[in-house]
Every structure is written in C-alpha cells, then in structure tokens.
Amino acid sequence: MAFRNSQLGRLTRLYIANPLEAAVAALVYALFRLLQIDVASAVGGFLGRSVGPRLSVSRRAFANLAKAFPEMSAEQRRGVVRAMWDNLGRVAAEFPHLDEIAVYGGDGRVEVIGAENVDRLRDDGRPGIFFSGHLGNWEIVSLAATQRGLPLDRVYRAANNRLVEWLYRRGRAAVEGALIPKGAAGARLLLGAIRGDRHLGMLVDQKMNDGIAAPFFGRPAMTSSAVAELALRFSIPVVAAHVERLNGARFRIRIEPPIVFTPTGDRKADVAQATAHVNAIIEGWIRARPEQWLWLHNRWPD
C-alpha cells in the first residue's frame, strides 16, 4: 500500500502539480514581461511587501535578524523584513527583463564602480572566480562581466520542476556562459571550467551543509568553501562583486579588486582563512544595506 501511495504521489506531481506550477510561473513571467521594467518592478515590490511579511517563512527572517543584529528593535526588524520582501518582489518582476538591461551606457539604469577589475580578469589569460550574494538584484551582477566581454559559467541551484527550470534558463540567457547545477556533477564541471581557462560566478551566502563552519556575523555558519578551495588549488584571482538597489529598477554594481589567496602549506587552515575572508566581505555588504539581503536562508540553524 505504501509503495502504491508513493507511486500515486509521484504521478500526481509529475502530471498535475508540476505542469500547474509551470503554467503559473509562465503566466507571471509573461505578465511582467509585458510591463515596462520600471512598472513591473513597482508592481512586484508592492506585491512582495504586501504579501511576504504575512507568510510563515518570514519568522525565519526575524530570527536571523535577531541573531545578526541583536541591537535592532522589533520595529526596525519589521521594517527590514518588509523592505526585504519589496526587494524580492522587484527581483522576480525584473527577471523577465534581464535582456533589456544595459549595464554600461544605455539609459543610465546601472552605475558600475570597478569595471576595470572585470577587464583585469578578462585580459590576464587565466581563469578566475567572481563571487557575490543575494543582495539588491543579484541576477544582474553577471551582466557586468558578460557585457564587458567576459563569459561567466555560473553555479546555481536547479529547479526541481523541469518546466520551471526551462523558464529560469530562458531568463538567464542574457548572460553568456554555462549554467552549472550544484551537486557532484556540477563539481566536475567546475573543475573543467577552471582547466579550460574559463571564469566562474558563484553566490556563496547560503547555508551549505557539506561546507565548513566559518564566522558570519560573529557566529559559525556552514559555508561553501568552493571559492577558497579552487582559488588556492589553482592559484587564480577572486573578485567580489555585488548589486545595490538605488531606487526602483536602478542599481549600482561594485566590483572589487582581485584577491589572490596565498597558500602557506597548511591546506585546511588556508581554506578556513580564505572562506572567513569571503564571509567578512559579504557581511560588510549586508551591514551596509540589511534590507536588501535575502534573510530567508536558514543561515544559523539552532
């Protein structure tokens, strides 16, 4: 009986739930695509801040804020959570418009600080790594590289629903470079990219169960060590970059000078130190604009 129920559940997901989920996602994508980007962003922000704070998952955001900013009042935390949802709604609404965003020149929608650091990695004849976090509209940070003539192979979490996955890939087609799913197969592709002198883009601010414990807001947090491992193993430069939302669908991208981690011979200690350095950079970004980080990650589980 248990096997039969399991089979029924799988078939229900495959033939009913997954197509329904994909249809809703495609409809929302198409509706936001029809709107001009500033209008879409405003609508997405309104929906996000109106609905998001009422969802049960917001309790995790409040808990995370209490751990990271114990000095914040309850009212301040409510303001941050509401603004976080506004930003998240805007990110979703802007996603269908990624191919319209000109990072350099254009209508001045994006201000870039440190574009020369992209050029340095593009022209040094070596592979390299860009890392960022879920701040501002993180989907556009890769545009700063690809629109400067530097393709990025990006590591991402694949959607469980194959139809939704197709939609994600369609939206991200504006960025030149491969999409590498997380997992064992993705790890092999990462090594292949580095050995092929390509450049990687990673979002490294989420909890990673198979990572290492590294300080983050004064607490140990399980963190991906991939940036440190690859940079130390292959002696390649690492660039930190993040997006700050300025007003509506207008942004500032900050691209920092390359970091070169120098091995000391103690691999474990080197990886731990480099990973802690990466976390410290991301923490600095979040402290500057806490309302623009995605506080919904289970970053510090009890």
Reported as a single tens digit per residue, the pLDDT across 103-157 is: 998 788 999 999 999 999 999 999 999 999 999 999 999 999 999 999 999 887 7
Which residue do the tokens 């249809």 mark?
23
pLDDT at site 138: 94
Q: Give CA separation, 236 vs 204, 231, 255, in Å.
A: 17, 5, 17
Q: How confident is the model at residue 243 (pLDDT cuts 50, 70, 90)?
A: very high
Q: Give the dihedral of Cα atoms 272, 278, 284, 286; nearest 10 deg.
A: -110
Reported as a single tens digit per residue, the pLDDT across 244-255 is: 999 999 999 999
Report whether pLDDT(210) > 90.
Answer: no
Please tell me the pTM assigned to this model.
Answer: 0.90
Instruction: Report d(CA 206, CA 26) in Å as an integer.
Output: 26
Q: How confident is the model at residue 3 (pLDDT cuts 50, 70, 90)?
A: very low
Q: How far is CA 213 from the centre of its chain?
A: 20
184 CB neighbour count, 10 Å cutoff: 7
User: What tokens appear for 218 in the block?
Assistant: 């004064």
Reported as a single tens digit per residue, the pLDDT across 50-91 is: 999 999 999 999 999 999 999 999 999 999 999 999 999 999
Instruction: Report d(CA 301, CA 1) in Å as an integer.
Output: 36
3-state class of 176 per DSSP? coil
Report whether pLDDT(257) > 90.
Answer: yes
Reported as a single tens digit per residue, the pLDDT across 8-24 is: 455 455 556 667 777 78
Q: Measuring CA to CA, which residue among 264, 182, 184, 175 is closest to residue 228?
A: 264
Q: Give CA separation, 26 vs 23, 117, 173, 299, in Å.
A: 5, 37, 16, 30
Reported as a single tens digit per residue, the pLDDT across 18-61 is: 677 777 888 888 999 999 999 999 999 999 999 999 999 999 99
Q: What is the mean pLDDT of residues 211-229?
A: 95
Which residue do the tokens 């011979």 mark?
265
